[in-house]
Amino acid sequence: MSLDKAKLCDSLLNWLQTFQVPSCTSKQDLMSGVAIAHVLHRIDPSWFNEAWLGRIKEESEANWRLKVSNLKKILQSMLEYYHDVLGHQIADEHLPDINLIGEFGDVTELGKLVQLVLGCAVSCEKKQEQIQQIMTLEESDQHVVMTAIQELLAKEPTVPGSPETYGDFDYQSRKYYFLSEEVEAKEDLGQRCRDLEHQVGREDCLLVSMLSVYLQLFAMSEVTLFIRLAEDCCPV
């Protein structure tokens, strides 16, 4: 089930505020792109560098055209970052409509934009520091942020460990639920790989099936990125 982007935006605003950047007190502040640009600069200052930051117009608050211009620069740079640095392809469904944000203050589209910022943070070179920062949020915000990461980085439309599958477990229980589910599923897929390897000599077409299984394993690793890093950074 897709996240409510308006609710997501509330939690991600709380996350953005942990960076202590200017113009980041409300969702309305984010519409100009200034705070988002400063956060990206904190996430990876080598890519979102000072020269790039200087292209973001600070005086855009009252001019929707300048807002749109800022947001377009931010989105384009993030997509290049995903492609060139992180090696991720962003699905069309996660791409925000910049014009709706800049001109009309659309919170749903803003949620999509900030979700992409979150993806940069948890995939960058200093991702463990970013995960530790997320873990300082309120538990309810942590859950929303975790779900946003899964939704953005998952290869499959159905994300293991969605709210429907774990009910009212507390946060610690959810982490171990996800991990145990992943281990069991990976063991099953691993056995399928070994079974297929024994048969490759008989039927070349089975290579296609093997590749499919390996891709499933890779996808599952990305889906549980947040949980694994959280365990590494904050052991029980």
27 and 121 in one domain? Answer: yes
Give the structural domain span for 15: 5-153
142 and 174 in one domain? Answer: no
Which residues have C-beta within 8 Å of that of residue 103, sequence separation ≥ 6?
64, 67, 68
Alpha-carbon distance 121 to 43, whole Å? 6
204 and 145 in one domain? Answer: no
90 and 13 in one domain? Answer: yes
Residue 150 is inside which H or E element, if any? helix 139-153
* Triad 185, 186, 191: Cα angle to 5°: 100
116 and 61 in one domain? Answer: yes
The verdict on residue 90 lying in a domain is yes
167 and 147 in one domain? Answer: no
In total, how many domains does the chain have? Answer: 2
Does pTM surpass 0.75? no
123 and 32 in one domain? Answer: yes
108 and 63 in one domain? Answer: yes
The verdict on residue 118 lying in a domain is yes
83 and 22 in one domain? Answer: yes
The verdict on residue 158 lying in a domain is no
Check which CATH number belongs to the domain holding 63 and give it: 1.10.418.10
Alpha-carbon distance 110 to 209, whole Å? 40
Residue by residue, pLDDT tens for the chain (236 residues) are 467 777 889 999 999 999 999 889 999 999 999 999 999 999 999 999 999 999 999 876 778 999 999 999 999 999 999 999 999 889 999 999 999 999 999 999 999 999 999 999 999 998 989 999 999 999 999 999 999 998 888 753 333 343 343 344 344 444 444 445 455 555 565 666 566 555 544 433 443 344 344 334 444 444 455 455 555 555 55
The verdict on residue 89 lying in a domain is yes
Alpha-carbon distance 209 to 223, whole Å? 21
Residue 77: name the closest of 60, 108, 62, 98 by CA.
Answer: 98
Which of these three, 101, 118, 153, is where a domain ends? 153
End-to-end CA distance of the chain: 30
Alpha-carbon distance 196 to 203, whole Å? 10
Token pair 């995960």: residue: 131
182 and 78 in one domain? Answer: no
124 and 182 in one domain? Answer: no
